[in-house]
Amino acid sequence: MSLSVRFAHRFENFALDVAFEAPPGVTALFGRSGSGKTTVVNAVAGLLRPDGGHIKFDETVLFDAGRKILVPVHKRRLGYVFQEGRLFPHLSVRQNLTYGRWFAPRGTATDFDRVVEMLGIGDLLGRQPARLSGGEKQRVAIGRALLANPRLLLMDEPLAALDEDRKAEILPYLERLGDEAGIPLLYVSHSIAEVARLATTLVLMENGQVIRSGPLVEMLSDPENVPALGVRSAGASLHARVAAQEEDGLTRLDASAGPLYLPHVDAPIGAQLSIRILAQDVILSRSRPEGLSALNVLPATVTALRLGDGPGAVIQLRAGEDLLLARITRRSAQALELAPGADCFAIIKSVAVAQSDVGGAF
């Protein structure tokens, strides 16, 4: 099942003109505040009638201006999770969850126990919303949406109102949701770290328009997307397998280009992980360095180079089967004579990779 979105709408001081395809998996809409992400989701949900265009999910036309088709909100079978949980305060967690089942078509009810287990909310069923943390409320809100048996789940910055500890608590559940829910997800965020953990497809938005879209790994590793992603947030993801838990507290991962050592990662031996490495945390050398404190030295080849308007440069590297980004100065790029095809070594400090940048199995 895929979602096809192509529409235009004009407000008094803002114009929206977007087009993208959301294939199965988690499609993230990313951009600065005010770029139009929530408006797109509201149009998909049926809360906004665009001036023109169409919205089609699988074989169902939800909106088509030319054919005068506008499926009402309650007939679209979409689940919507907002920034705040918006739970009914007078109902228990169990009652909030079962409320969603009233909207599921007859004979299509989603398994209650499976949803509860997937979101880890079994011990919350008897509580009232007032006794839940922010992360717990969001998990219950997601469960309520899933139990309505939607064909598509919309999530509008569900972690924006949470502190870092609560975000860390709920991210693994969202990862599992993307793997196990069995329905497409349209996810709005202005946090590239969240997007890198959760999405399979990335749609970049700016000033009411889609500037680029495509598979997440390709989008994150493309130097041309760095301005839209943010220079300090830019970074690519590589895949690795947990090989060993070392006695000194490090975890050894096997990446396609060689071993990678990180502070302890709570994952079993053999687990397949995705590791986001910020471009600013990668140092380049034309020869294998010696006498460094950095443990991670991966052989790589320059595949692309983008010079910024200032003194910076972004280098795309192929390390084994993965692509990395490195952000260095123009002067360094010139001194190292970096150009597509040049061999080098990518140096990554173990402690530079945050736990939040280690994603679940891919």
- The whole domain housing 190 covers 3-215
pLDDT at 282: 97
Q: Are residues 316 and 202 in the same domain?
A: no
The 3-state DSSP class for residue 205 equals strand
- Tell me how far CA of residue 187 lies from CA of 143, 184, 201, in angstroms: 16, 10, 10
Q: Is residue 317 part of a domain?
A: yes
Max mean pLDDT among 78-82, 90-94, 306-310 falls in 90-94
Token look-up 């529409």 returns 7
Q: Binning pLDDT at 50, 70 and 90, where does residue 108 land?
A: low
pLDDT at 190: 87
Q: Is residue 283 part of a domain?
A: yes
pLDDT at 156: 93
pLDDT at 170: 83
Number of domains in the chain: 2
pLDDT at 295: 93
**More confident position, 115 or 279:** 279
Does residue 196 have a pLDDT over 70?
yes
pLDDT digits (tens, 9 = 90+) for 44-69: 999 999 999 999 998 899 999 999 99
pLDDT digits (tens, 9 = 90+) for 137-158: 988 998 898 888 888 999 999 8
pLDDT at 110: 66
**More confident position, 105 or 209:** 209
Q: Are residues 97 and 174 in the same domain?
A: yes
Q: For residue 342, give the DSSP letter.
A: -
pLDDT at 362: 46
| pTM given for the model | 0.88
Q: Are residues 186 and 103 in the same domain?
A: yes
Q: Is residue 228 part of a domain?
A: no
Which residue, 181, 215, 249, sits at the end of a domain? Answer: 215
The CATH number given to whatever domain includes residue 26 is: 3.40.50.300
In this predicted structure, which of 77-91, 195-209, 329-343 has the lowest mean pLDDT? 77-91
Q: Are residues 10 and 154 in the same domain?
A: yes
Q: Are residues 349 and 260 in the same domain?
A: yes
pLDDT at 276: 94
Q: Is residue 229 part of a domain?
A: no
Q: Is residue 37 part of a domain?
A: yes
The CATH number given to whatever domain includes residue 323 is: 2.40.50.100
pLDDT at 187: 95
Does residue 342 have a pLDDT over 60?
yes
Q: For residue 309, give the DSSP letter.
A: S
Q: Are residues 167 and 32 in the same domain?
A: yes
Handedness of CA 153, 6, 76, 2 (dihedral sign): negative
Q: Are residues 182 and 92 in the same domain?
A: yes
- What average pLDDT does the structure give for the chain? 91
Q: Is residue 33 part of a domain?
A: yes
Q: Mean of the pLDDT values across residues 82-99?
A: 88
Does residue 15 have a pLDDT over 80?
yes
Closest CA to 277 of 238, 243, 219, 242: 238
Q: Are residues 138 and 20 in the same domain?
A: yes
Q: Are 145 and 117 in contact (CB under 8 A)?
A: no
Q: What is the full DSSP assignment across 226-269? A: HHHH-TTT-EEEEEEEEEEE-TTSEEEEEETTEEEEEE-----T
pLDDT digits (tens, 9 = 90+) for 242-283: 999 999 999 999 999 999 999 999 999 999 999 999 999 999
